[in-house]
Structure 1
Amino acid sequence: MSVGSDVILDRMMALHPKVIDLVLDRVWRLLEALDRPEKKLPPVIHLAGTNGKGSTQAMLRAGLEGAGKTVHAYTSPHLARFHERIRLAGELITEEHLTAILDECYAANGGKVITYFEITTCAAMLAMARTPADFTLLETGLGGRLDATNVVEKPALTILTPISMDHEQFLGNTLAKIAGEKAGILKRGVPCVVGPQPEEAMDVIEARAEALGAPLIAHGQHWHAYEERGRLVYQDETGLLDLPLPNLPGAHQIENAGAALAALRALNCGETAFEAAVSEAFWPARMQRLKEGALCESVPQAELWLDGGHNPAAGEALAAHLARLPARPTHLICGMLNTKDASGFLKPLAKQAQSLTAVPIPGEANTLPAVDLASMAQNNGHTTAISETVTEALHTITEKDPQARILICGSLYLAGHVLRENT
């Protein structure tokens, strides 16, 4: 009897005692056993950054596909199913294909120590190397320099989205240290599109690029993107683009779109690509409006939103987006991991929300207890409550205000649980 991908993924989880262990030795060993699939990938665009990687990748993929190109895409973490991480020539990997490729990698690894992310990244590269496509989009999991995706010797292009404080326990406790890790994806002579950066991070990126002779295509220097009269204006030395606003909501998506457009320009794509990038992208749990599904049906008059952002910069972006929405009483349902800067995330949201209901993240060992999260929220100006589940929180909020706007936020893991619950 054949086993499914979930069973093999569980086996892979047991191959290393730590979830995160940043070295590349184990990846190189397994890639060698698999006959070096990273050398056989279609031209690679490698993305790193703290915020906006997924959205930028989604817009870039939409643009390339709009130009008639076939695109592989690798992203993490997944929300509802692991298959979301691997897209082959535009389509999510099938269960049959995923099971076969995981099985092959598990066997090739021979029971040796390797992290879950490392072995599944090798599996993704093996599947992508065997499937024809025009481009491969690789998104780092954590950092860049020692990330399992950072094994491609000569990508076609690299992209650094905005860098901010996150994962300090692994990447360092200053912006300069974190930027140094992220800038580890730069390669000699390979152009790098750079999104908006704090000065401290930009100084590190520029020094790294100069050392490697990697041309930068930087926001504020080589390209600009902004909203004007309800349109997106993108400008670089090639000329000006007048486009619709991104279909991914939030003012921060304008700069993410700018990075995607800068990449499309660098790849010599045409007008069709630019229009598709801003109009056709889809990226779940990034200020996603939930309009149908079991949770929506349980609170039919409420306006439901979902977002997986979890650091201070994400809190700022969410607060800015809520401020631009039509006036309506807004309530937050929030669950976070204990490894995140909860106070930094919560503080900017206090002015936009009438209440915050803290919930635990189901099935997550590192969930921040709801009582602790509620206490942090209260210290940052929120009116708080505690619920055991998202469903309970929804019903408690809508009993008092059936037409409330409710944003479920704080963690991609919570967002994945909500998407599964809402099917």
Structure 2
Amino acid sequence: MKDFAASENPAVQAQLDRLAALSLPQGRLGLEVIRELLAFLGDPQKRLPPVFHVAGTNGKGSTCAYLRSIMEAQGLTVHSAIKPHLVRYNERIRIAGKLVSDEELASLLKEVLDIGEGLGPSFFEVTTAATFLAFARHPADACVIEVGLGGRFDATNVMEQPAACGIATLGIDHEAFLLVPEEGVPTEPMVRIAFEKSGIARAGSPLVTQSYAGPLEAEIGRIAGLAGAPLFRRDHEWSAQVGDTIEYSDSRGTLSLPLPQLPGKHQGDNAALAVAMIRHQDKVEVSAEAMAEGIRSARWPARLQLLAQGPLTALTPNREVWLDGGHNADAGLAIGRHFAGQRLHLIIGMLANRYPQTIIDPLEGKLASVTAVPIDGSDSHGEAAYGGRANWAPDVATALQSLPNDGLPVLIAGSLYLAGKVLAANDEIPD
């Protein structure tokens, strides 16, 4: 699947067109090409500020948002790299707290694409190389880098000794890549996922994890041991109880921290992982006060986001309109927990390689209506994929206008690609 990008800046668009022409050669997995590309660029990954590297199936982006917000609350300068972008490709590269400018982005992409022309790099390898190049050229106190796909073979997995590595929630996702049969790797799907994600472990770098079922925890422990990574597991080396506050504890003591502004109990869990990563490394000093302020002030678009008044929400006045980019079973369960005991309308659009029931089933019994929509510009499910469970509309605007005037909230969900289009249509472009 291609990652889609467009820009109103002609210089950026020229490079995005080159980027869009790249694809991952069939069957090629590994870090050889990204390492060679980075070597041609002078190995910028070896000149980064202290790196916080985060993998996981769900929650890794939110964990990155808390890490950045906490360190910025301390007064530190932080670079951050997230994926995918929602509206503008620039969202992938945040330099010292600000999205990379169009001028610098066009220059970075051109430099990497030109120098890597004979290597046949992928979209993700070029993006990663451009990110590392930007981060190496601008001074900062720390970098927060989100893993894109898996961990072991993700293009970001070339740092030699991050300040800390973290693994968020685990679940089945990206099966076509992460469950490809291979000699010498676990065959049980969830254990294989744990194996792939824990591939970010590095000798001497703390590996901080959430709590998992026994076989997954054992596999992560095995990989951490082979890598020589000190392991800090939730409910073992650290703990966090999420209620009206986050009651956090580790060998250094206890903290009582506020809940995030981001909705959902799982956001307290993600914030706790960020705190544990900071507490178990020694490259960056952060106070308890900054942790509390960072958790309170963190923002992360399209994750149970209540949309503001805008052109799109004006089409269905006097009701809440929520947006979530979750697209797998774990995300569906988190959405279901958030809307427990509440009736709502669902507008859903999903890529063709996703499963609508993972979002619809956890909301069973809560749904006043379901309306499915295509995702313009993406290979998305058509009406038939919903098996008569949903009405069909040509776009989100039409779906909103067709809802009864009953005041019930609306959830738009199923894809980060759809979420990006909704944010753009409602004039809520991430900055």
Question: TM-score, length-normalised on structure 1?
Answer: 0.92
Q: Where does residue 150 of structure 1 map in the other structure?
A: 157
Greater Cα shift, 218-227 or 53-62: 218-227
Cα distance in 2 between the residues matched to 1:222 and 1:386: 49
The reply on whether 1:220 has 2:235 as its aligned counterpart is: yes
Work out which of the residue numbers 378, 396, 401 in structure 2 matches 1:395: 401
Tell me which residue corresponds to 1:205.
220
Opposite residue 51 of structure 1, the aligned amino acid is N
Relative to structure 1, is the Cα distance of residues 419 and 179 closer, same or farther in structure 2, using a 3 angstrom cutoff?
same
Q: Could you say which residue in structure 1 is the equivalent of 2:416? A: 412
1 CA distance for matches of 2:27 and 2:83? 14
**Is the 8 Å Cα contact of residues 327 and 358 (structure 2) preserved in structure 1?**
no
Q: Deviations over 1:305-345 (max 9, x none)?
A: 00001110100000001117xx4x30110111121233233
Which residue of 1 is the match for residue 4 of structure 2? none
**2:136 corresponds to 1:129:** yes
After TM superposition, the structure 1 = structure 2 runs for residues 164-243 of structure 1, keeping only pairs within 5 Å, are: 164-172=171-179, 174-228=189-243, 230-243=244-257
Q: Which residue of 1 aligns with 2:356?
A: 342
The alignment status of 1:306 with 2:310, answered yes or no, reads no
The change in CA–CA distance for 1:217 and 1:277 in structure 2 (over 3 A counts) is farther
CA contact (8 A) 1:44 1:138 kept: yes
Q: 1:260 is matched with which residue?
A: 274
2:335 to 314, 318, 323: 318
8 Å CA contact 1:168, 1:178 repeated in 2 = no
Counterpart contact for 2:87–2:420, Cα < 8 Å? yes
How has the CA–CA distance of structure 1 residues 262 and 372 changed in structure 2, closer, same or farther, with 3 Å as cutoff?
same
- SS of residue in 1 equivalent to 2:162: coil
Equivalent position amino acid for 1:207 in 2:
R
User: How many angstroms apart in 1 are the aligned matches of 2:162 and 2:119?
Assistant: 29
User: SS of the residue aligned with 2:327?
Assistant: coil
TM-score (norm 2): 0.91
Which of 101, 106, 109 is equivalent to 1:102? 109
Q: Distance in 2 between the 1:126 and 1:227 partners?
A: 38
- In the other structure, the counterpart of 1:381 is none
Which amino acid in structure 2 is aligned with residue 312 of structure 1?
A
Find the counterpart in structure 1 of residue 309 from structure 2.
292
CA distance in structure 1 between the aligned counterparts of 2:405 and 2:120, rounded to whole angstroms: 52
Cα deviation digits, residues 101-143 of structure 1 (max 9, x gap): 1111111113541111110110011011000001111111100
Contact 1:264 1:273 in 2 (8 A): no
- The CA deviation at 1:145 is 0.6
Q: How many residues get paired?
A: 408
**For residues 312 and 393 of structure 1, what CA distance do their matches in structure 2 show?**
24
After superposition, the C-alpha distances for 1:334-371 in whole angstroms (9 at most, x for unaligned) are: 11112123323321121332221111111102x11133
State whether residues 79 and 96 of structure 2, in contact with CA within 8 Å, keep that contact through their aligned partners in structure 1. Answer: yes
Give the CA RMSD over aligned residues.
1.8
Match of 2:418, as an amino acid?
L
Task: Give the corresponding residue for 1:269.
Answer: 286
Going from structure 1 to structure 2, the CA distance change for 1:211 and 1:148 (only over 3 Å counts) comes to same
Partner of 1:331: 345
**Structure 2 counterpart of 1:274, one-letter code:** M
Look up the SS of the partner of 1:155 in the other structure.
coil
In structure 2, the partner of 1:71 is: 78
* Partner Cα distance (1:287, 1:358) in 2: 19
Partner secondary structure for residue 140 of structure 2: coil
SS in 2 for 1:113: coil
Question: In 2, distance between residues paired with 1:200 and 1:263?
Answer: 23
- Give the distance between the partners of 2:24 and 2:169, measured in 1 at CA: 31
Q: Percent identity?
A: 42
1:5 and 2:20 equivalent? no
- 8 A contact 2:24–2:123 mirrored in 1: no
1:335 and 1:3 map into 2 onto residues whose CA distance is 30
Q: Could you tell me how far apart the structure 2 residues matched to 1:201 and 1:67 are?
A: 34
Give the number of the structure whose residues are more often helix, by fraction.
1
- For residues 111 and 214 of structure 1, the distance between their equivalents in structure 2, rounded to whole angstroms, comes to 35
How far does residue 21 in structure 1 lie from its aligned partner after superposition?
Answer: 5.0
